[in-house]
């Protein structure tokens, strides 16, 4: 009987995938197809959830087959992250319209990313206090316990490292190893390696221009090919979102999610406030925030549904360019934003956790010394956060360990992680685009006519 039920569920999934394929053939916009996949996934997941139960064998076996689509999509995204980050940084150096001092531009972009992350930490702290969130309010089940043990295992790998050693671990001792994503800090290591190659290219360009031209052509060729691969993967997004959301909803503990409803609401309030701060910064820079919202909607909606900052990088760069950001700065800010200063994952989330967990070990989370230390630690720990899955967890481990808070308690939120991660990812991408726009404005390289041109907008056509 179980086999027949599983087969029927697979058949339904194939029909839903067929609906998305039909929409694609009818040239329905990419954003509409993604949100359709999201909606169908939630509905089908609820049917499985209430029809069989989250712990049922039918739901488990059905979603295991669905994961061929959802898990395959995520695997393809992970496959392209390192090549994408590497070639985006390197191509930023080879683009002829990258003007000004490289170090100054990079420092300004990184400064904005880290600075907004510090602001995000303050927002997270304030929201946690306003909603009176405490870890003791959350019940700990088997899944939460297992998650906590997993986080403690990850913490064991970094707990004996001093701050200088942690900084040293960011450097690419073996860039080929980092291309495999073997270390939690592999992404930032690849960024540093690409930056070294870019600086070397600038030196060669001054002394051996013909060699530099050949290198630039090779980089541009690889850039075109990598972006084409990304486009192929992006075409799978509606299907991947459908399968992933079906599995997530079908296997979620709805009771646990209901109990954590206050944390979910508080998290989204904090994320909305942070997005509002992005708009406020752009307003202070003399840019129309309404224009930003309209032009950024496609890439932010993609980031929200796919939950991957890295997968959104090509759309991020294209969107910035449509808003008048020079090619080089767009590549820098988009790529740096994958591993440095993610406002949602590395700013708001760990700060909220720290405030929630502090009372369990007798620490007053409102003491000035604790708050100041927390903001500084969050900002410094925001380096090296991965762009595809696990970044928020790694950031939380670094912050909680630095604050001498129990790591395992962070596992209490496992049941709502996917739900919150959608909003966090969108805010991460918005932070990266904001840094590109502000840097361009400060450097007087922003094409304001392109920014204000309502027709010059990216339409995701993958």
Retrieve residue 315's tokens.
Answer: 């759309």
- The Cα–Cα gap between 323 and 329 comes to 12
CA dihedral 282, 286, 292, 295 (to 10 degrees): -140
* Prediction pTM value: 0.82
Helices and strands per DSSP (H, E), number in the chain: 20, 0
pLDDT number for residue 386: 58
Handedness of CA 367, 372, 375, 376 (dihedral sign): negative
Neighbour count for residue 208 (Cβ, 10 Å) = 12
Please, are residues 31 and 460 in contact by the beta-carbon 8 Å criterion? Answer: yes
Report pLDDT digits (tens) over 400-432.
777 878 776 666 666 677 788 889 999 999 999
Which letter does DSSP use for residue 410 in this model? G
Which candidate, 266, 309, 301, places its Cα nearest to that of 420?
266
DSSP code per residue over 42-107: HHHHHHHHHHH-TT-HHHHHHHHHHHHHHHHHHHHHHHHHHHHHHHHHHHHHH-TT--S-HHHHHH
User: CATH says 2-452 is which class?
Assistant: mainly alpha
pLDDT number for residue 284: 95
Angle at the Cα of 252 from the Cα atoms of 248 and 255, rounded to 5 degrees: 150
pLDDT number for residue 119: 94
Q: Which residue has the tokens 């929409």?
A: 23
Q: How far, CA to CA in Å, does 153 sit from each of 57, 80, 117, 148, 394?
A: 29, 27, 26, 9, 12
- The Cα–Cα gap between 175 and 302 comes to 30
- The Cα–Cα gap between 407 and 97 comes to 46
Residues of the chain with pLDDT under 50: 142, 144, 148, 155, 462
pLDDT number for residue 415: 65
pLDDT number for residue 305: 81
pLDDT number for residue 154: 52
């Amino acid at each position: 009987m179980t086999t027949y039920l599983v087969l029927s569920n697979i058949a339904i999934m194939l029909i839903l995938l067929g609906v998305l394929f039909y929409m694609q053939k009818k040239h329905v916009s990419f954003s509409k197809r993604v949100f359709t996949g999201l909606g169908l996934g939630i509905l089908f997941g609820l049917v499985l959830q209430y029809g069989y139960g989250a712990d049922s064998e039918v739901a488990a076996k059905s979603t295991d087959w669905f994961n061929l689509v959802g898990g395959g999509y995520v695997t393809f995204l992970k496959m392209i992250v390192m090549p994408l980050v590497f070639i985006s940084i390197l191509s930023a150096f080879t683009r002829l319209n990258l003007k000004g001092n490289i170090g100054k531009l990079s420092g300004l972009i990184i400064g904005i990313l880290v600075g907004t992350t510090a602001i995000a930490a303050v927002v997270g702290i304030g929201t946690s206090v306003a909603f009176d969130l405490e870890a003791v309010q959350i019940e700990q089940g088997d899944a939460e316990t297992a998650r906590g043990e997993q986080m403690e295992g990850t913490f064991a790998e970094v707990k004996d490292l001093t701050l200088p050693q942690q900084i040293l671990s960011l450097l690419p001792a073996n860039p080929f190893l980092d291309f495999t994503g073997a270390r939690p800090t592999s992404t930032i290591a690849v960024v540093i390696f690409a930056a070294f190659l870019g600086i070397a290219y600038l030196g060669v360009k001054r002394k051996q221009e013909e060699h530099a031209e050949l290198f630039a052509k090779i980089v541009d060729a690889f850039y075109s090919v990598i972006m084409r691969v990304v486009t192929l993967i992006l075409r799978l997004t509606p299907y991947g979102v459908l399968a992933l959301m079906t599995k997530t909803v079908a296997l979620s503990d709805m009771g646990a999610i209901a109990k954590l409803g206050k944390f979910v609401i508080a998290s989204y309030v904090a994320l909305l406030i942070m997005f509002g701060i992005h708009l406020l910064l752009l307003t202070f820079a003399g840019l129309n925030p309404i224009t930003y919202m309209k032009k950024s909607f496609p890439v932010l909606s993609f980031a929200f549904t796919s939950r991957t900052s890295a997968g959104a990088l090509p759309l991020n760069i294209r969107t910035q360019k449509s808003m008048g950001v020079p090619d080089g700065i767009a590549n820098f800010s988009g790529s740096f934003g994958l591993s440095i200063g993610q406002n949602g994952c590395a700013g708001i989330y760990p700060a909220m956790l720290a405030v929630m967990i502090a009372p369990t070990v007798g620490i007053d989370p409102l003491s000035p010394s604790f708050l100041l230390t927390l903001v500084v630690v969050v900002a410094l720990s925001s380096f090296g956060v991965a762009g595809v899955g696990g970044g928020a967890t790694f950031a939380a481990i670094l912050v909680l360990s630095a604050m001498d808070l129990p790591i395992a308690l962070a596992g209490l939120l496992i049941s709502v992680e996917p739900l919150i991660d959608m909003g966090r990812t969108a805010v991460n991408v918005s932070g990266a685009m904001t840094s590109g726009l502000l840097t361009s404005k400060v450097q007087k390289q922003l094409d304001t006519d392109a920014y204000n041109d309502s027709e010059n907008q990216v339409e995701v056509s993958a």
